């Protein structure tokens, strides 16, 4: 199996919205973003699959070494071998790739966040920096596109957090800020036990509005000159925003189930956004 085939299998197995969003890319860019996504999956899987925190730390330390090796023109792992030909053209940086791993390390260090600034820092590591790496793969001229990527990454991560409240609770994690739980008088035990209430809905409504704000700010920050190149990110935004609206329509029934979109709907949203350049999503956000 070649390095590119390894990364393709890793991406396809996940069923993620990422996969549908870069189906329409030219071959070289598709190989590059698939390899980058495979890297993110590899380090994320370390935290999800390792029950021993010490072993997880060792594995993440090994991935830090692999990132350093990539920028020393060495590559051992198939993912790094797949990334190496794209490293310079896509403006990948060691600092950003290390930051992705540091986001995974944060999951080993804490399972609660006291307030929004603390959670925002986590969102930056877990998603914004991935967005900034991704826009380099897609291609950009205006540095303001990095701000778009940062805000869109936060919007994506907030959507993930809203969707995964129940799944995360079953792993002993609650990402919703502690002071916002207190504001709505929602006890951590209620979330851990899967108990719905009007108070929980009010809490989730606030989280949803915060996510929508970041979607709007992200699209407003994207320069027109880079919009065409950034269609894959816009396609992913259309999928994630549709998911957020679906969860809202379902009245945040996320404690006992994982709400998701069908593959055919993801594909349709990705294609529609690719064709329209994200105009449909922009109209939705501006309503």
Least Cα distance to 48 among 212, 183, 153, 168 occurs for: 168
Q: Which domain holds residue 246?
A: 110-287
Residue 105 counted as domain residue: no
pLDDT at 282 over 90: no
Residue 135 counted as domain residue: yes
Query: Are residues 33 and 79 both part of a single domain?
Result: yes
Residue 102 counted as domain residue: no
Mean pLDDT of 60-77: 94
Encode 165-180: b = buried (16+ Cβ within 10 Å), e = exposed.
bbebbeeebbbbbeeb
Mean pLDDT of 280-286: 76
Per-residue pLDDT at 12: 76
Query: Are residues 26 and 115 both part of a single domain?
Result: no
Query: Are residues 276 and 208 both part of a single domain?
Result: yes
The count of structural domains within the chain is: 2
Q: Where are the alpha helices (DSSP H) in the chain?
A: 3-14, 17-21, 27-49, 53-70, 78-83, 94-109, 116-123, 129-138, 144-163, 165-170, 178-183, 188-192, 198-221, 224-227, 231-249, 263-276, 279-285
With a pLDDT cut of 90, the percent of the chain lying above it is 80
Query: Are residues 121 and 240 both part of a single domain?
Result: yes
Query: Are residues 117 and 189 both part of a single domain?
Result: yes
For the segment 101-154, what is each residue's pLDDT rounded down to a tens digit?
999 999 998 889 999 999 999 999 999 999 999 999 999 999 999 999 999 999
Query: Are residues 149 and 226 both part of a single domain?
Result: yes
Q: Which residue has the tokens 């329509």?
A: 249
Query: Are residues 3 and 117 both part of a single domain?
Result: no
Query: Are residues 245 and 165 both part of a single domain?
Result: yes
Per-residue pLDDT at 15: 60
Per-residue pLDDT at 177: 97
Q: Indicate the average pLDDT of the chain.
A: 93
Between these two residues, 20 and 248, which has the higher pLDDT value? 248
CATH number of the domain within which 141 lies: 1.10.600.10
Would you give the distance in Å from CA 145 to the centre of its chain? 17
């Amino acid at each position: 199996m070649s390095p590119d085939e390894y990364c393709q299998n890793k991406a396809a197995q996940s069923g993620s919205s990422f996969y549908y969003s870069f189906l329409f890319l030219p071959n070289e860019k598709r190989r590059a973003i698939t390899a980058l996504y495979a890297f993110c999956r590899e380090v994320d899987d370390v935290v999800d699959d390792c029950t021993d925190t010490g072993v997880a730390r060792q594995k993440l330390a090994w991935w830090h070494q692999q990132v350093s090796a990539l920028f020393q023109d060495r590559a051992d792992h198939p993912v790094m071998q797949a990334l190496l030909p794209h490293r310079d053209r896509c403006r990948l940086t060691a600092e950003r790739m290390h930051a992705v791993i540091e986001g995974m390390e944060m999951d080993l260090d804490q399972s609660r966040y006291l307030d929004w600034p603390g959670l925002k820092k986590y969102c930056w590591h877990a998603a914004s920096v991935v967005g900034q790496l991704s826009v380099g793969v897609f291609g950009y001229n205006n540095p303001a596109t990095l701000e778009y990527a940062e805000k869109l990454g936060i919007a994506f991560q907030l959507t993930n957090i809203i969707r995964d409240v129940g799944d995360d609770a079953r792993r002993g994690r609650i990402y919703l800020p502690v002071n916002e739980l207190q504001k709505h008088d929602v006890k951590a035990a209620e979330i851990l036990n899967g108990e719905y209430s009007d108070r929980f809905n009010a809490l989730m409504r606030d989280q949803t509005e915060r996510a929508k704000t970041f979607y709007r700010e992200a699209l407003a920050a994207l320069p027109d000159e880079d919009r065409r190149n950034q269609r894959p990110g816009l396609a992913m935004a259309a999928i994630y925003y549709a998911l957020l609206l679906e969860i809202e329509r379902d009245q945040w029934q996320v404690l006992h189930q994982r709400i998701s979109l069908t593959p055919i709907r993801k594909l349709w949203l990705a294609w529609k956004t690719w064709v329209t350049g994200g105009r449909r999503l922009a109209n939705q956000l501006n309503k």
